[in-house]
Structure 1
Amino acid sequence: MAVVKDYPNPFERSPANTIGVIVIAAYLIYAAIDMDLSLARFLEGLGHGSALLDRMFPPNFTRWELLLDGLIESMQIAIISSVVGIFMSLFIGLFAARNMMPAWVSSPTRVIIALCRSFHPVIIAILFVKAVGFGALAGLLTLIVASIGFIAKLFAEAIEEISFKQVEAIRATGASFTSIVLFAVLPQVFSRFIGFSMYQLDSNLRNSTMVGIVGAGGLGGTLFSAFQRFDYDFVTAILLTIIAIILLGEFLSGKVREIFQ
């Protein structure tokens, strides 16, 4: 005879749960009223959206040279920033690992990583545009900062989860710190690091078009100019190109993960 276990009901009602639901519902209603959200505005927006779609199709690829120039610049920004950011993250992530470094090293490094992750890439791009001017350099620096904020954090956490038996075994042989990292730490986290890196490259491909909207180079600047000219059929051509590049990057990153797994 099968024994049926009596599991607790995760949705069991209680006064605290009821009050919480009421408070959340009341806040959602208040926020909707405060932002002037209504069904009439939504339906009106659908009408405008339908008119916009009519102007966006069919896509116009006649200015393919302009499209290609922006695309090449975006890819250059994404690839260079990914390589530099990932390389820097190797060292920064190692310095942030609390099981490998003393607190006076890991704590300030973690503050640096947190600062890199504190702001959206568009905000960072605006700051770099003001600092170094319009163009690809601002986008490159922006995505390097974004890469460090993501990769270094995940790399540090991966190092903190390693088995320390290999580290102690190699350390017992009198090996240097560099040898310990190369032969005891990296082999345990290398496949994960490759996965992190491929994801960041994919992210930088998307962000390289986004930061261009604020003047940081790339296809985003071309997209923003097309919107300003109400050139919506060319906008569609740009958007389809971005989608194609992202799908290609996703395919290539999947192949790279299969190779290193």
Structure 2
Amino acid sequence: MSATATPAPARDRVAFRPDWPMRIGLILLAIYAVYAASTLGLSWERLSVGFGEAGRFLGRMIPPNFARWELMVEGLVESLQIAVLASAIGILLSLPLGLLAARNLSPWWVSGPVRFFIAVCRSLHYVIVAIIFVKAIGFGALAGTAALVVASIGFIAKLFAEAIEEISMKQVEAVRATGAPLGSVLTYAVLPQVASRFLGFCIYQLDSNLRNSTLVGIVGAGGIGGTLFAAFKRFDYDFVAAILIAIIAMIFLAELVSGRVRAALR
């Protein structure tokens, strides 16, 4: 009669081992958050006072005053023009930059500097860029358009380059094998693979610039933001409410239109 071997005792296993580095990191983060709140003067007393002031401020905004609707419409139209022009120029500049920044199409000595330029465009917030352009070329829509062009390049060119780097190189090599020039390679092998994504990026950037164009005016770069800031300085809070309602309506309408266009492109 053969004896059956008894299995060796299994080692104790823990289903979910404690992640002590993560726990220590969270504890340190909580301690630093408390320290930062104390140094910044954040307190429940100030927050409660702020809620009271906010209630009085909102009370002065009701009812909205649309009597000067011509001034409001003028600012909205200027913001729309800034957004459309900045998006168009930014997209036209971003397409060649994206092609040059793609590491699967360009050598490193070309893609490296182009990527650095795109990173510089993305480094500064568009409001800071708008302030720089206002100081350089003066107040008005030109400064706002230039600032949003820089912001568009920093965002769209990066997405263009990443989309191009994800394409299948088999089609590119097949077109190159026919002896086609670079323009034909881009037209028949590269762009067809990324055209739908490019259109989606462009629509998103136009929508983003429409929102951003309402903010650059606060620093003097044209658009409805300048009208809003002037109303704040005059303590004309009922007109401020009317401007905010108009901005929300414009952005909401743009969201509906861009959503329909994106759905049609799918």
Residue type at the aligned position of 1:147: S
Matches within 5 A, 1:5-44: 9=16, 12-44=17-49
Matched, 1:169 2:174: yes
Tell me by how many angstroms 1:259 deviates.
2.6
Q: Distance in 1 between matches of 2:224 and 2:251?
A: 13
Tell me by how many angstroms 1:102 deviates.
0.7
The residue aligned with 2:247 is: 242
Matches within 5 A, 1:1-261: 9=16, 12-261=17-266
Taking structure 2 as the reference length, the TM-score comes to: 0.93
Residue type at the aligned position of 1:143: L
Q: Distance in 2 between matches of 1:214 and 1:203?
A: 18
The residue aligned with 1:3 is: none
The residue aligned with 2:3 is: none
Tell me by how many angstroms 1:17 deviates.
2.8
Tell me by how many angstroms 1:8 deviates.
6.1
Paired residues, number: 254
Distance 1:39 1:62, change over 3 A: same
Residue type at the aligned position of 2:86: S
Residue type at the aligned position of 1:228: K
Q: Distance in 1 between matches of 2:238 and 2:100?
A: 49
Residue type at the aligned position of 2:247: I
Unpaired runs of at least 5, structure 2:
1-12
Residue type at the aligned position of 1:89: S
Tell me by how many angstroms 1:258 deviates.
2.4
Tell me by how many angstroms 1:7 deviates.
11
Q: Distance in 1 between matches of 2:79 and 2:56?
A: 30
Distance 1:169 1:134, change over 3 A: same
Q: Distance in 1 between matches of 2:98 and 2:221?
A: 27
Report the aligned-residue RMSD. 1.4
Q: Distance in 2 between matches of 1:152 and 1:98?
A: 13
Taking structure 1 as the reference length, the TM-score comes to: 0.94
Residue type at the aligned position of 2:188: F
Residue type at the aligned position of 1:172: A
Greater C-alpha Rg: 2
Tell me by how many angstroms 1:22 deviates.
1.8
Residue type at the aligned position of 2:29: I
Offset from partner CA, 1:168-220 (integer Å, 9 cap, x none) = 11111111111111111111111111111111111101111100000000100
Residue type at the aligned position of 1:183: Y
Tell me by how many angstroms 1:52 deviates.
0.7
Distance 1:106 1:124, change over 3 A: same
Residue type at the aligned position of 2:102: A
Q: Distance in 2 between matches of 1:245 and 1:185?
A: 36
Unpaired runs of at least 5, structure 1:
1-5
| Identity rate, percent | 62
Tell me the SS of whatever aligns to 2:85.
Answer: helix
Q: Distance in 2 between matches of 1:154 and 1:125?
A: 23
Q: Distance in 2 between matches of 1:101 and 1:255?
A: 36
